[in-house]
A = this chain, B = another copy of it.
Amino acid sequence: MPSHPHVAIVGASGAVGQEMLVCLEERQFPLSQLTLLASARSAGQRVTFRGEEITIQELTEDSFTDIDIALFSAGGGISEKFGPIAAAAGAVVIDNSSAFRMDPEVPLVVPEINPEAAKNHPRNIIANPNCSTIITLMGLAPLHRHFGLTGIIASTYQAVSGSGAQGIIELDQQIGAITRGETIEKNVYPHQIAHNVIPHVDVFQETGYTKEEQKMLYEGRKILGLPELKVTCTCVRVPVMRSHSISATAIFEKAPSVAAARQAFENAPGIKLVDDPEKALYPVPLDTTGKDDCLIGRIREDQVLPNALTVWIVGDQVRKGAALNAVQIAEIL
């Protein structure tokens, strides 16, 4: 990998693609050139990066000549088709979709948790985990290092940004329609999301769990290297713009204490303890919006299970849940 690689963003006009540009700029990522790719519909749009205008180009099979790193965030179908093409052309693909996450030859990486995994990528593809999985594990990995994680029972409060820019637009339009007394239109979600919560993220499977809920199980096992990890998750969409929250009961091998758990976050990268409830200090989604760090708070002994803590974790879904994590993987390379 050259010290100043040529980077491409596939899906540059989407919510995550736009945030990738912000992360590359803020982190002063050392790149020689930036190529922005998207569908024909978005091609021709101009984007400012480091004070210069870049025109978004149409994604084609010939887009990846001379690209060193290709950040994909344009949906699973685009990744499945163009990811291998980019990899064959010599780029290392960092893919934000679920297309390759469970491929044993594709590492699944959260840089604060398993950075070493990023170095071995025989298919030239590295996968970025699911957003709610990243944020949950950012909170639980420091505890796992101390107490040995064996199980997670989680309920999520997921922002509409998880459905891309269209989710944000739908919530915004529905709120506007309610304010004006107009009819609510539904395009992205099967139910109204304004003034509502919907226990349905991604598609349902035969077990009654959604794919999103099972990502925390299967991706969690792979990232933490814990093939026996047990996870039950209930994923719920809430009318929040772009940060996900997770209420989690974490079960450990060793008996955890609240005091030791708090200490585990003193020097943990990318996650901060906000836990002074008497002063109404605990993580809330608005406080993480546009921020790199995830937040954890409300750490307390679980009252049902032995060796368990119940916690509250929040992180910006677009940033650490997607764009930032991908850029951090590129930094490892």
Chain B nearest CB from A175 CB (Å) reads 6
**0 or 1 for each of A236-271: is its CB under 8 Å from B? (1 = yes):** 101111000101010100000010000000000000
Whether A122 is near chain B, meaning CB under 8 Å from some CB there, is no
**0 or 1 for each of A200-218: is its CB under 8 Å from B? (1 = yes):** 1000100111100000010
Q: Is the CB of B232 within 8 A of A196?
A: no
Whether A48 is near chain B, meaning CB under 8 Å from some CB there, is no
Q: Is the CB of A157 within 8 A of B238?
A: yes
Q: How far is the CA of A151 from the CA of B304 in the complex (A)?
A: 6
Whether A303 is near chain B, meaning CB under 8 Å from some CB there, is yes
Q: Is the CB of B278 within 8 A of A232?
A: no
Whether A301 is near chain B, meaning CB under 8 Å from some CB there, is yes
- Chain A residues near B (Cβ < 8 Å): 151-153, 155, 157, 175-176, 178-179, 190-192, 195-200, 204, 207-210, 217, 230-232, 234, 236, 238-241, 245, 247, 249, 251, 258, 277-278, 280, 282-286, 297-305, 310, 312
> Which listed residue, B153, B208, B310, touches A300 by the CB 8 Å rule?
B208
Determine the chain B residues whose CB is within 8 A of the CB of A277 once the complex forms.
Answer: 200, 204, 208, 210
Q: Is the CB of A286 within 8 A of B239?
A: no
Please tell me how many copies of the chain the complex holds.
Answer: 2
Q: List 29 A-B contacts (CB under 8 A).
A: A152-B304, A153-B153, A153-B249, A153-B302, A153-B304, A153-B310, A155-B234, A155-B247, A157-B157, A179-B179, A192-B286, A195-B239, A195-B286, A197-B238, A197-B245, A197-B284, A197-B285, A198-B284, A199-B282, A200-B282, A207-B301, A208-B299, A208-B301, A210-B277, A231-B303, A231-B304, A232-B304, A232-B310, A236-B245
Q: How far is the CA of A208 from the CA of B297 in the complex (A)?
A: 10
Q: How far is the CA of A91 from the CA of B46 in the complex (A)?
A: 74
Q: Is the CB of A191 within 8 A of B230?
A: no
Determine the chain B residues whose CB is within 8 A of the CB of A179 once the complex forms.
Answer: 175-176, 179
Q: How far is the CA of A109 from the CA of B247 in the complex (A)?
A: 29
Q: Is the CB of B310 within 8 A of A196?
A: no
Instruction: Using CB atoms, name the residue of chain B closest to A159.
Output: B195
Q: How far is the CA of A176 from the CA of B175 in the complex (A)?
A: 9
Q: Which of A192, A198, A283, A303 has the most C-beta atoms of chain B within 10 angstroms of its own C-beta?
A: A303
Q: How far is the CA of A209 from the CA of B12 in the complex (A)?
A: 44
Chain B nearest CB from A216 CB (Å) reads 10
Instruction: Using CB atoms, name the residue of chain B closest to A207.
Output: B300
Determine the chain B residues whose CB is within 8 A of the CB of A278 once the complex forms.
Answer: 204
Q: Which of A298, A299, A304, A310 has the most C-beta atoms of chain B within 10 angstroms of its own C-beta?
A: A304
Determine the chain B residues whose CB is within 8 A of the CB of A247 once the complex forms.
Answer: 155, 199, 234, 236, 247
> Which listed residue, B176, B197, B230, B302, touches A232 by the CB 8 Å rule?
B302
Determine the chain B residues whose CB is within 8 A of the CB of A195 once the complex forms.
Answer: 239-241, 285-286
Instruction: Using CB atoms, name the residue of chain B closest to A209.
Output: B300
Instruction: Using CB atoms, name the residue of chain B closest to A297.
Output: B199
Instruction: Using CB atoms, name the residue of chain B closest to A275.
Output: B208
> Which listed residue, B199, B249, B258, B303, touches A312 by the CB 8 Å rule?
B199
Q: How far is the CA of A157 from the CA of B151 in the complex (A)?
A: 23
> Which listed residue, B191, B232, B241, touches A284 by the CB 8 Å rule?
B191
